[in-house]
Structure formats: structure tokens, C-alpha cells
């Protein structure tokens, strides 16, 4: 009996907010492996904010997600069949196979991982791309020294949670911005931030001022909009801003910058970055992050939905801030 592969395709581009109708779940037969290939059964799908931008047909750092093809995304899974001498059945691997149950590869872009010390799913979050994103923006752009104040938006998320913990390990004061009292408690009580501002409480500017009495030296920005505007008013001269994401505007809402004059007045450095353009730092960053996780010096949390068919729902929830920590879809 021919085995089938269930896949989620992007079939239309969103007009404003994305919907489930932009996707289609299909099942297709798996082709026999060619020499040099191996097959992976995906156990986990990574759900990340950048996916929403790739759904648009607009100029960006990467080509748009093609229509009629498997939705892009990082995966973690297990080799179940192999005709490749470098990959054996049972190997645990990460790759970019997208929203589907099986991936076929010749090894390009696939990495073997060890899930004996840390869980396989962590290689899609704290010890994967989100973790490296946090590591690069914090160490290479903000580059703080002990005693400085660092503000992190989306502080309970996959990237922000790592930034704040790295800040504390470096001797900095870490102040988070998150949505809701529960997330703020997690940020301070579990992650160890010095303070967390609940933007949903309606006093973002006032509360941020209270949490940053000596101003802000570094900002790791994941959200944009009101979060970035409020932080700009607190920046000290020669502060550094690592612009990682603008999730507040990803689903179509305009996000104008209302405090641009402060960039000049405070002589700020504001740098956007795409972590996949800095592959030279990945081995060092991943080794450090994995070690910190194994030593339980780096905490993380995951939001998990089960079933391939729920991947669109998981992305829509992520864009609305419904996730708590790293958003994943579990397949098996």
C-alpha cells in the first residue's frame, strides 16, 4: 500500500488579516527515494511570525511563499528511511521541510541533533532559530555592559524570553513588555526579568517610565507600534535598538513610527537584522544556548497545538498574541 504525505499548501494571498481559507490540506503519495536521499517523519512544526510576511507578494528580504506549494517552516523529526550514507534511520534532525508530515532530502540544510540532553522540540525554539535571533541581536547589536537597562518587547515569546535571560546573565537590568498579568508574572518570576510592563493594562507609557527610572540603554524590538514608540521616549543617548520584528503590523494594520526625531536627538543606533544572513555565528550561538538549556540556566515555555490541520490556526493565534512562549504544532 502506497504511503501518503499530508501537506498544507498556501493557495491564496491574504487581503488584510489571514484566514484558514488561504490554505488547503492535501494528501499525495510518497515517491520512492533516489540514491543519496533520505526521508524524515516530522514530529514538530515551528510556527513563527515571519511566515505571515512571506505570504504577501511584496518586496522583502526573501521571496514570497509560492502559491500551490507547501507552506514554509522549520521542522524537527526522525529519519525513517535512508539511501544516504550520512543519515541513518533513527537519526533526529532539524530542517526546513514546511507544513507536511514527511520531508525528503539529500542532506542540504538538514542538521543532526542530540535529543538526549534537551528535548527535540527545543531545537526549534530556545536552541534553534529563535534562540540564535535573540543571541545575535543582544550580543552583536545591543552589545551591552553590566548595569545597563535592556527593554524587550514580546518578552514572554520565543525570542524575547531568551533576550531577557541573556541580559540577566550579562549583569544587565531586564525590563519586559508583554500582554496580560499572567505573562508578566512568568516574565519576572520564572524568567527572572527585573520588571515587566503589561501593555494591555492601558498605561504603557506611564508603567514603562516607572520600570526604567534610569532610562533605557538597549532595546530588543519584536512588536513595533506603540511598544517601540514608548521605548524610544525612554532611550538614553547612544542607545542601541535591535529591530527583530514588527509583529503589530504583520496582519495588515499600519504601524507608523511616531517618535522618529528621538533617533536623532538621542543619537541612537537602530538596526534591523535577519539572522539567517549571519550564519557564521550560528555554531557558537547554538552551542552556548544548548549548554545553557542543559544546565537549566535558560528557561523556556512552549505552546503546542496537535495535528497538521491546525497549523494555520496556530499561526493566526500567534499573530494575535495567543501563544505563550514558542508556538509549535505537534504531528506525532
Q: What is the pLDDT of residues 121-141, one digit of tens each?
A: 999 999 999 999 999 999 999
Q: What is the pLDDT, as a whole number, of residue 252?
A: 59
% of the chain at pLDDT higher than 90: 85
% of the chain at pLDDT higher than 70: 97
Q: What is the pLDDT, as a whole number, of residue 332?
A: 83
Distances (CA, A) of 170 to 142, 145, 227: 12, 7, 24
Mean pLDDT score of the chain: 94
If pLDDT is split at 50, 70 and 90, which confidence band does 259 have?
confident
Q: Taking the model in full, what pTM does it have? A: 0.90
Q: Which fold has domain 129-276?
A: Rossmann fold (3.40.50)
CATH number for the domain whose boundaries are 4-125+300-330: 3.90.180.10
Q: What is the pLDDT, as a whole number, of residue 253?
A: 62
Closest CA to 310 of 332, 330, 290, 281: 330
Asked whether residue 41 carries a pLDDT value surpassing 70, the answer given is yes
Mean pLDDT of the region 20-48? 97
Distances (CA, A) of 67 to 19, 24, 56, 164: 15, 11, 10, 37
Mean pLDDT of the region 65-86? 97
First to last CA, the chain: 21
DSSP string across 236-271: EEEEEEEE---GGGTTS-----S-THHHHHTT-EEE
Q: What is the pLDDT, as a whole number, of residue 95?
A: 97
Asked whether residue 228 carries a pLDDT value surpassing 70, the answer given is yes
Q: What is the pLDDT, as a whole number, of residue 59?
A: 75
Q: What is the pLDDT of residues 271-297, one digit of tens each?
A: 999 999 999 999 999 999 999 999 999
- Report the C-alpha gap between 237 and 11 in whole angstroms: 48
Mean pLDDT of the region 155-162? 96
Asked whether residue 204 carries a pLDDT value surpassing 80, the answer given is yes
| Beta strand residue intervals within 20-156, DSSP E | 23-29, 38-46, 69-70, 75-82, 92-95, 102-105, 111-112, 149-153
Domain spans of the chain, in order of start: 4-125+300-330, 129-276
Q: What is the pLDDT, as a whole number, of residue 83?
A: 98
Mean pLDDT of the region 153-171? 97
Other CB atoms within a 10 A radius of the CB of residue 67 amount to 13
The SS3 call for residue 320 is coil
- Report the C-alpha gap between 107 and 271 in whole angstroms: 33
Torsion over CA: 257, 258, 261, 265 (sign) = negative
Amino acid at each position: 500500500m502506497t504511503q501518503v504525505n499530508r501537506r498544507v499548501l498556501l493557495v491564496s494571498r491574504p487581503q488584510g488579516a489571514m484566514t484558514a481559507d488561504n490554505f488547503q490540506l492535501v494528501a499525495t503519495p510518497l515517491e520512492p527515494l533516489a540514491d543519496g536521499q533520505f526521508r524524515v517523519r516530522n514530529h514538530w512544526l515551528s510556527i513563527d511570525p515571519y511566515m505571515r510576511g512571506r505570504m504577501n507578494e511584496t518586496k522583502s528580504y526573501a521571496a514570497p511563499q509560492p502559491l500551490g506549494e507547501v507552506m514554509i517552516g522549520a521542522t524537527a523529526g526522525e529519519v525513517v528511511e535512508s539511501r544516504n550514507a550520512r543519515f541513518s534511520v533513527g537519526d533526529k534532525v532539524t530542517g526546513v521541510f514546511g507544513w507536511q508530515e514527511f520531508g525528503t532530502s539529500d542532506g542540504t540544510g538538514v542538521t543532526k541533533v542530540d535529543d538526549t540532553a534537551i528535548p527535540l522540540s527545543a531545537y526549534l525554539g530556545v536552541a534553534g532559530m529563535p534562540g540564535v535571533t535573540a543571541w545575535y541581536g543582544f550580543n552583536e547589536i545591543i552589545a551591552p555592559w553590566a548595569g545597563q537597562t535592556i527593554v524587550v518587547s514580546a518578552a514572554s515569546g520565543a525570542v524575547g524570553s531568551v533576550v531577557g535571560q541573556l541580559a540577566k546573565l550579562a549583569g544587565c537590568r531586564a525590563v519586559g513588555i508583554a500582554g496580560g498579568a499572567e505573562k508578566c508574572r512568568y516574565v519576572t518570576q520564572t524568567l527572572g526579568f527585573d520588571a515587566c510592563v503589561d501593555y494591555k493594562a492601558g498605561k504603557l507609557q506611564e508603567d514603562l517610565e516607572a520600570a526604567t527610572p534610569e532610562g533605557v540603554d538597549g532595546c530588543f524590538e519584536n512588536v513595533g507600534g506603540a511598544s517601540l514608540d514608548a521605548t524610544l521616549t525612554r532611550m538614553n543617548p547612544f542607545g542601541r535598538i535591535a529591530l527583530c520584528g514588527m509583529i503589530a503590523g504583520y496582519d495588515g494594520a499600519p504601524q507608523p513610527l511616531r517618535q522618529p526625531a528621538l533617533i536623532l536627538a538621542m543619537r541612537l543606533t537602530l538596526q534591523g537584522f535577519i539572522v539567517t544572513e549571519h550564519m557564521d555565528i550560528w555554531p557558537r550561538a547554538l552551542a552556548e544556548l544548548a549548554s545553557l538549556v542543559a544546565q537549566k540556566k535558560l528557561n523556556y515555555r512552549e505552546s503546542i497545538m496537535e495535528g497538521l490541520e491546525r497549523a494555520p490556526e496556530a499561526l493566526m493565534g500567534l499573530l494575535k498574541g495567543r501563544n505563550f512562549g514558542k508556538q509549535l504544532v505537534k504531528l506525532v
